[in-house]
Amino acid sequence: QKEVEQNSGPLSVPEGAIASLNCTYSDRVSQSFFWYRQYSGKSPELIMSIYSNGDKEDGRFTAQLNKASQYVSLLIRDSQPSDSATYLCAVNKEYGNKLVFGAGTILRVKS
Amino acid sequence: GAVVSQHPSRVICKSGTSVKIECRSLDFQATTMFWYRQFPKQSLMLMATSNEGSKATYEQGVEKDKFLINHASLTLSTLTVTSAHPEDSSFYICSASSSGQTQYFGPGTRLLVL
């Protein structure tokens, strides 16, 4: 079992719709969770971080964390073609420790 | 804030030569820097973790004598690919973290070894 699992996609959504990206992790001691966006040929860009159960909203993005289910998600409201990218879920087990990345989900927003 | 730069952005070298890549945190002090490698259509692979003033910790399967890492200051880490071969051609990305947990990535360096 991979430490961090994501559906590779591609996930296709129409412009203006809500895109829902999911991620599960295997280690229950994981404490910090991150979503990065990576455009083709570019390096990852931090979108959201979340540390406690529940929802965290930042503009069109909402991260959701459920530690009991070992599940973290990212919702993108009013999806735009510019949101088309690979979204990487990353988990940090301990404070200051390295990140474990999922393989990423390809999102395609069609206009 | 939290800007990380890398230099060069792209490098082409002959097989057998060494290439040095610099990673700088521009507006914060990075206690820890990480070096990743990414092959086409694959996810990030962590190569090593480096803390300022100490030796880097390499991931399993990464040759420390081939990928030399120096983290001499809180704003600069370097990765030197020694005796580069075509199979070392890849996208090398660094990230930096202050005493917190969030990693901020540099723009990456694309290495092509002929």
- Provide, as residue numbers in chain B, all residues whose Cβ is less than 8 Å from the Cβ of A45: 105
Residue B114: pLDDT band with limits 50, 70, 90: very high
B38-56 pLDDT, tens per residue? 998 888 899 999 988 888 9
B49-84 pLDDT, tens per residue? 998 888 899 999 999 999 999 988 999 999 999 999
- Bridging pattern class, strands A61-66 and A71-76: antiparallel
User: Does the CB of B105 have a partner CB in chain A at under 8 Å?
Assistant: yes
B54's tokens: 């100490």
B64's tokens: 């420390």
More confident residue, B30 or A107: A107
- Least CB-CB distance to B93: which of A32, A43, A46? A43
Among chain B residues, the shortest Cα distance to A101 is held by B44
CB contact under 8 A, B101 and A98: no
Angle (nearest 5°) at CA A22 between A16 and A24: 170
A46-70 pLDDT, tens per residue? 999 999 999 999 999 999 999 999 9
How near does any CA of chain A get to the CA of B37, in Å? 11
A99-110 pLDDT, tens per residue? 889 999 999 999
User: Does the CB of A33 have a partner CB in chain B at under 8 Å?
Assistant: no
Among chain A residues, the shortest Cα distance to B107 is held by A43
- Strand-pair partners of B40: none
How near does any CA of chain A get to the CA of B74, in Å? 15
How near does any CA of chain B get to the CA of A16, in Å? 27
